[in-house]
């Protein structure tokens, strides 16, 4: 298949720039992946579609304040870092803007000198490896001087940074939110649990590769960026029991889906583990664990729309997306989701 097979026309005004007032009052498009039937609901109505014994799998990562605004030592030239992932200790992979002239040895200052960084290597796609210098605890300093990064298609300032975190976020490490989960409230999760729905968690720290375009026209030539994941024994047990009992495993977001499909063996059984995944799921892929998916609407020609097309079929997904455009749904991070 080709990248162009996953293009759809999206009016600019449908890209959501801010979250709606109440998380669970987003509109919900429900797509039956077997028949292609489409229904239009509210997100709080999702309880109608998740049954007793089903296992809902959430990604409990938390977005870091990974955007750093500073200046170059000596010249005062402005610089922006976005932290991508920790390599080891105080060495991180970062994106720099502007960064073309930033060579190994260049030094930068953030937060009035509270945090300093030196470039130690230029790596693929122009990213840098940098070593940070500071007194104290890095995460606490980052909380003070860093900013939560928003996707490039969101141009409006977000007044409440918690609206770009899920209500169950726990472990800091992401450069972007697992946005399908933004629609859940504590009350909605409690209601699902009271109905006998099992809730399990995985952790996948989302990288900015999420927003990078697929440059290879043939899908088989595309290389995914790796992201760190983990899943513990108790959550594996809940997911395995759902499969054994003939109930569904419902992934909340493509990030949860990628963890489950990375960890599951050929029979769909999971064992606790952690590591790095660069799994690329596109049509033709045979799912081992995931039965259903709750996800936001994704960018045209992105790896994410390819993943949902693998689960429900490209033609059904493209029709659902076109229906959402006709119905004036909101798209992307603060979007209306699709089940």
- The pTM for the full model equals 0.90
Cα–Cα dist 152/24, whole Å: 24
User: Does residue 232 have a cis bond before it (omega within 30 degrees)?
Assistant: no
CATH of domain 67-147: 2.40.10.240
pLDDT for position 211: 62
CATH 3.40.1780.10 in the chain is located at 3-63+160-338
Q: List pLDDT tens digits, range 61-98.
A: 999 999 999 999 989 999 999 998 899 999 999 999 98
Q: List pLDDT tens digits, range 281-323.
A: 999 999 999 999 999 999 999 999 999 999 999 999 999 999 9
Q: List pLDDT tens digits, range 200-231.
A: 999 999 987 766 678 887 888 888 888 999 99
3.40.50.300, 3.40.190.10, 3.40.50.720, 3.40.1780.10: which CATH number matches 3-63+160-338?
3.40.1780.10
Mean pLDDT, range 157-168, rounded to an integer: 90
pLDDT for position 18: 87
Q: What is the DSSP letter of 13?
A: G
CATH 2.40.10.240 in the chain is located at 67-147
pLDDT band per the 50, 70, 90 thresholds, residue 28: very high
Mean pLDDT, range 139-147, rounded to an integer: 95
Q: Give strand ranges (E) for the chain.
A: 27-31, 38-42, 55-59, 61-63, 67-72, 78-88, 91-97, 107-110, 115-122, 128-134, 171-174, 198-204, 227-231, 249-252, 273-277, 292-296, 337-338
For residue 96, what are the contacts with CB-CB under 8 A and spacing of at least 6? 79, 80, 81, 102, 126, 127, 128
pLDDT band per the 50, 70, 90 thresholds, residue 143: very high
Kindly write down the DSSP assignment for every residue of 154-185, as one continuous string: --S--S-GGGGS-TT--EEEESS--GGGGG--
Cα–Cα dist 191/166, whole Å: 17
Q: Dig out the tokens for 95 from the structure.
A: 């994106």
Cα–Cα dist 33/23, whole Å: 25
């Amino acid at each position: 298949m080709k990248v162009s097979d996953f293009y759809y026309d999206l009016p600019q005004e449908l890209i959501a720039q801010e979250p709606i007032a109440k998380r669970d009052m987003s509109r919900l498009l429900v797509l039956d992946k077997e028949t292609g039937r489409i229904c239009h609901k509210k997100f709080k109505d999702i309880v109608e579609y998740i049954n007793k014994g089903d296992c809902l799998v959430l990604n409990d990562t938390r977005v870091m304040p990974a955007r750093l605004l500073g200046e170059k030592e000596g010249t005062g030239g402005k610089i922006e870092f976005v932290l991508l992932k920790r390599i080891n200790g105080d060495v991180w992979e970062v994106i720099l803007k502007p960064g073309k002239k930033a060579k190994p040895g260049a030094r930068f200052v953030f937060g009035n000198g509270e945090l300093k960084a030196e470039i130690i290597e230029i790596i693929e796609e122009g990213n840098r490896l940098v070593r940070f210098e500071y007194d104290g605890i890095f995460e606490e300093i980052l909380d003070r001087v860093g900013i939560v990064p928003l996707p490039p298609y969101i141009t409006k300032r977000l007044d409440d940074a918690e609206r770009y975190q899920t209500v169950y976020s726990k472990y800091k490490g992401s450069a972007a939110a697992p946005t399908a989960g933004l629609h859940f409230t504590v009350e909605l999760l409690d209601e699902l649990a009271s109905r006998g729905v099992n809730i399990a968690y995985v952790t996948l720290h989302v990288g900015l590769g999420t927003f990078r375009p697929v440059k290879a026209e043939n899908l088989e030539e595309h290389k995914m960026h790796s992201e760190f994941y983990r899943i513990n024994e108790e959550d594996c047990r809940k997911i395995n029991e759902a499969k054994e009992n003939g109930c569904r495993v419902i992934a909340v977001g493509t990030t949860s889906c990628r963890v489950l499909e990375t960890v599951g063996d050929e029979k769909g059984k999971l064992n606790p583990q952690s590591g790095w995944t660069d799994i690329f799921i596109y049509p033709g892929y045979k799912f081992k664990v995931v039965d259903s998916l709750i996800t936001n609407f994704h960018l045209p020609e992105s790896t994410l729309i390819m993943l949902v097309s693998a689960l429900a079929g490209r033609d059904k997904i493209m029709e659902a997306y076109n229906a959402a455009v006709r119905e004036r749904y909101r798209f992307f991070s603060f979007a209306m989701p699709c089940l």
